Amino acid sequence: MDTGETPRPEGRPFGRRAFLGALGVGATSLVWGDKALQLFQGATNKLPASVRAAIPVGGEWRIYAINLPYPRFDEASWSLTIDGLVERPQRLTMPDLRRLAQVDQTSDFHCVTGWSVLGVKWRGVRFAELLDLAGVREGATALKFTSAEVPYVDTITLKQLEAPDAMVAFDMDGKPLTREHGAPARVVIPKMYGYKGVKWLNRITVTDTVSDGYWEQRGYSRDAYVES
């Protein structure tokens, strides 16, 4: 299922606020309450179509990858490795993962380049569930995520992962993740920008070292909290 689509690297880092500022949209629009959204959408209807297309409202995903072709999920050979500073290293197959306590949530998704998808339905497992299986050893401070799409990686501290809505997701909007969205598993951290959400996740390494992720090596912040 190759789409033949070329990757769209995000180019120079620029903040969401700067992006909206350039369009003359106030920072208050970043509070995506229903009311504000409706007002905002109303206002954008008066803009030229070219500008409207660049504004991050509505539900259009843009597919990002940094090394085509997209990794292909083969259920027979795939596993999620949990290694590093753990008592019991894991190699979990998809059925193993599906047997863990699954949770559903609806959360908004924001890319730092200025687009958002609101109300995404995710199903997956909480990090606590995975970490309990593996047993985090003393001294661990962070998790490093590795994608089957080399060299996409990212790191997040255990402290930051206490966010109750962070998860490893398998389903999006009621269906298993599609290949382009990172099948079979991706990291979801709604309070942070999308680049923290490693697609085609196949390894979680428990570590005592915080290192830069793919986009962080290229200028983005390690602490990728969505501005509000």
Binding positions for ligand MTE, rule: CB under 6 A: 10, 61-66, 111, 147, 149, 152, 181, 194-195, 197-200
Task: Please give the single-letter amino acid code of residue 211.
Answer: S
| Sole window of 103-111, 125-133, 149-157, 163-171 interacting with Mo ion (rule: CB under 5 A) | 103-111
**DSSP assignment string, 20-79:** HHHTT--GGGGS--HHHHHHHHHHHTTS-HHHHTTS--SS------SSSSPP---TTT--
- 62 binding partner (options Mo ion, ligand MTE, none; Cβ < 5 to 8 Å by kind): ligand MTE
195 binds Mo ion (CB under 5 A): yes
| Cα–Cα distance, 119 to 127 (Å, whole number) | 21
Look-up of token digits 């998704």: 109
Task: Please give the single-letter amino acid code of residue 33.
Answer: G
| Cα–Cα distance, 223 to 46 (Å, whole number) | 35
Query: For residues 168 and 224, which CB has a smaller minimum distance to Mo ion in the complex?
Result: 224
| Cα–Cα distance, 189 to 166 (Å, whole number) | 5
Rg of the Cα atoms in the chain: 18
Query: For residues 10 and 82, which CB has a smaller minimum distance to ligand MTE in the complex?
Result: 10
List the beta bridge partners of residue 169.
Answer: 124, 186
- 61 binding partner (options Mo ion, ligand MTE, none; Cβ < 5 to 8 Å by kind): ligand MTE
For the bound state, the minimum distance from the C-beta of residue 222 to ligand MTE, rounded and expressed in Å, comes to 14
| Cα–Cα distance, 64 to 67 (Å, whole number) | 10
For the bound state, the minimum distance from the C-beta of residue 128 to ligand MTE, rounded and expressed in Å, comes to 22
Query: For residues 184 and 213, which CB has a smaller minimum distance to Mo ion in the complex?
Result: 213
For the bound state, the minimum distance from the C-beta of residue 41 to ligand MTE, rounded and expressed in Å, comes to 21
3-state secondary structure (DSSP) of residue 16? helix
For the bound state, the minimum distance from the C-beta of residue 214 to ligand MTE, rounded and expressed in Å, comes to 7
Judged by CB under 5 A, the residue of 184, 194, 197, 213 near Mo ion is 194
For the bound state, the minimum distance from the C-beta of residue 102 to Mo ion, rounded and expressed in Å, comes to 26
Query: For residues 67 and 102, which CB has a smaller minimum distance to ligand MTE in the complex?
Result: 67
Binding-site ranges for Mo ion (CB under 5 A):
111, 194-195
